Structure 1
Amino acid sequence: MSEHSRCFLLSLGNRIFVSYMRIQTILLVCCCAWMSCEKDITVDLPQGEPQTVIEGTIVNDEYPEVILTRSFSYFSHISVDQLKDAFVHNAVITVSDGNSTMQLKEFSKDTTNRVKWYYYTADTTQPAAFKGKLNKSYTLRVAVDDQTFNAVTTIPGAGMVIDSTWSTIYSKDPTLARLWARITDPQERGNYVRYRTARNGGVYRPGINSTIDDQIVNGTSFNTQLDAGHDRTQEINFDTYGYFKRGDSVNVEFSNIDKATFDFWRSLDLAYASNGNVFASPIQVRGNISGALGYWGGYGARRLNVKIRK
């Protein structure tokens, strides 16, 4: 390489270096200026007024049960004391079947987390007490704090039925198995189901999606998976979600419900499944009690026990 070429390259390198340093200096000044414009911003999030929350159920051959609470703010840090204070007492709650009306009584029971659980159900010492029956409608009336809430539900007498069940072994983990069911839907359109499962004598829990409708399968027999119930206070392990352990004794609660009850649980399941997903659309949980949160739902329940093969 000639001396002239070396001088030219050296000069060009110096110019590039100087230009680079000027750019770095400009960027540094801009960053400092931008940082000097920062200030702390405090966002005053609205707390919202507490609302009445009603969770009422009536199942065939069982007494109705209503849990009455107040809602929390979305950003609340919930403590044991707050949970205790959430229950609403001294409400006047009645259930009517069109012929008879009974007033529910408030009871309580202890839980393992030091919170006493309050609920309203039939006072069986009274002659007016009655249980739910298939093919009947029931009106709930809740009067509390100068407010009155009403809702109506029906316990379906017919609908989808489980014809048979079986299990399949999970290929990636032979200790796990999937539970399947063959379900038959009537010719009449508009049947809805909610199911829950309990393992080895435990509590009944729903899966992430706990509802079935006949929008696509009307009038047919079809196979579907029955997911193992999930404790919604725990994180989901999607590698093992929905599977049972081989040898499990599984109780399945398979309940025909009306459309309003289906809409409530369907929307609640969707809201739970999308929780934490910033790209998911907001989902409004659809209750059937005007002026209050929650629902009043009737269940035509059938229960069966399934043994997962070893």
Structure 2
Amino acid sequence: MNTTANTTPPGPPPSAAPSAPRGGTTPAPGGPRRRLAAILHRRARLRLSLLLSAPMLWLGVAYLGALAALFVSALWRTDTFTGDLVRELTWANFRELLTTEVYRTIALRSVGVAAAVTLIDLVIAFPMAFAMAKLAPPRAQRWLVIAVLTPLWASYLVKAYAWRVLLSADGLLGWGYGLTATIITLSYLWLPYMILPIYAGLERLPNSLLEAAGDLGARGRRTFRTVVWPLTFPAVVAGSIFTFSLSLGDYITVKIVGGRSQLIGNVVYDNIGAANNLPFAAAVATVPVLIMLAYLAAVRRTGALENL
């Protein structure tokens, strides 16, 4: 009897597992990228540090570095005969600022204009922001925010020259040029920067607090004084930082509608251009920086910055 031989070569058992690579361990799926992602997921501080490293580096180099260069150049002087820059450290520019009455007057005038612009914008912005946040329906709020932002899309010079036409002797208002025209123009230019922070603060204010104040018998004035104003004060501070600092350093508006008025920005511009005295211009430019540092320090004592 003939038997047929099985010619199929034997294969590995079905249950046999593939042999592990030499070394005894299997590599983790994903490799180094997966392990790095796992480390960042577990360490929130490291993740935050890496996220903020590039912006902080840019801030340190571009902003703080520029301020340091400004302060160092303010300690130099310009040779009165040749007009050359002398890189010798001296406090002569700052002594001239402190001892010359005209520069003290200009500094006080600049602070007064910035404070007036901030106050005017606050008086106008608060009721507008309250109406946007608490009285207007949700759909209308979006359109009102767009309406507030629309003037920012126009050119700064176009808006400033439009006010020049209105305030000129032959213009619609005819008030002439000077500090009044400067305050009006700056108040218009920086008004959106006051409205938007206050609107954001009022939008976060719960309506239940206003209803509770009304249920307890508080009238509108007392509700504003005890509920609305304390909770929105940080937003007011945020808006005032914008309006005050932008008005304090502005010089273009003063050139356009200010007439013969002089503010800090104009003194800086004139010493860079016509007078060619860069060290003194740098010394004058440190005045707004010091004023803003003092303002921020005063605001911080109120605790408003911690609640922004």
Give your verdict on TM over 0.5.
no
Structure ranking higher in helix proportion: 2
Structure ranking higher in strand proportion: 1
TM-score bin, normalised by smaller chain = under 0.3
